[in-house]
Amino acid sequence: MDQTGPDIEIRRQAFQWLESQVRIHGEVLPRPVLQQGFHFQGKQIRLVGPQGIFKPRHMELPISITTVPSGPYDDEFGYDGLLLYRYRGTDPNHRDNIGLRRAMQIGTPLIYFHRILPGKYLPAWPVFIVADNPSQLTFSIAVDENETRGLSIFSGVHEGYQQQPEDVFRRSYATREFRQRLHQSSFRERVLRAYRDQCALCRLRHRELLDAAHILPDAEPEGEPLVSNGLSLCKLHHAAFDRYFVGVREDYVVEVRPDILDESDGPMLIHGLQNLHGTRIVVPRLTESRPNPEFLHIRYERYRAAG
């Protein structure tokens, strides 16, 4: 198998293409973009297909693996912190499973897509198959750091490839980082969808400028990544909410801190903050997705104390 020719060059260009798409769309990519892919020497290279293990017809080994979780995303991680990826079916010798096993044996880098919501995927690359678990019908996968996305990662593709101790340490850290990104991205996507991609305070609809703000911080026991503990806020109002410039009462009415109301600092302060006083926030259509009243009460008391 020639792993120094087109197969490797396609992977290299795929990684570069993903970098450009993340700059355009943000770190969560829509499926149509991945299905369209890019062109290599006049051939269209798609990055996802109908099955989770995807090998473009112009390549010898799979280029990507896609997870569609049936439960909480924590279920996709093993006790060792590595990602777990299920075999295609139950036959260890299915050709897709053989392809991933071969990628493990020679150290071939892959792309991992984790579905956050229908049609939206958080990518990680490069990732490596680092263990084969036939009794569990799974492969163990490690994410590598961004710095290894350059040409150097392809120098390890060879017969008899062995993961080095320094690789294990680096990839363990990178996989933990990806797990945190997965939590954050999942929370953001679910909150923005509930609020119909608009700021709950000012109704700004530019998705690139929206965040999912926690009502109670995620470091607290109650601060779970639930939509009912989130608000869709633009960058300005997220910062204002976090710094207690504004508070939201249990009846969804916005208050602006008295000292901010008394300031005189031009039109941005007036239109960006002061005019919010006494308005009501936008709330999700589904009752269960609306801000938890108890959480709002706790947060509002902290806002009052800050004033």
Question: Residues 32-42: pLDDT tens digits?
Answer: 999 999 999 99
Report, as an integer, the average pLDDT of 184-195: 95
Q: Which of 216, 248, 245, 250 has its CA nearest to residue 307? A: 245
Mean pLDDT, residues 268-278 taken together: 92
User: For position 76, what pLDDT does the model report?
Assistant: 80
Residue 43 has pLDDT above 60, yes or no: yes
Task: For residue 178, count other CB atoms closer than 10 A to its CB.
Answer: 22
pLDDT above 80 for 4: no
Mean pLDDT rounded to a whole number for the chain: 89
How far apart CA 180 and CA 163 sit, in angstroms, is 24
The reported pLDDT for the residue numbered 68 is 77
pTM: 0.82
pLDDT over 70 at 73, yes or no: no
d(CA 185, CA 238): 16
pLDDT(16) > 90: yes
Instruction: Say what the pLDDT of residue 1 is.
Output: 43
Question: 85-105, pLDDT tens digit by residue?
Answer: 999 989 999 999 999 999 999
Mean pLDDT of 60-88: 81
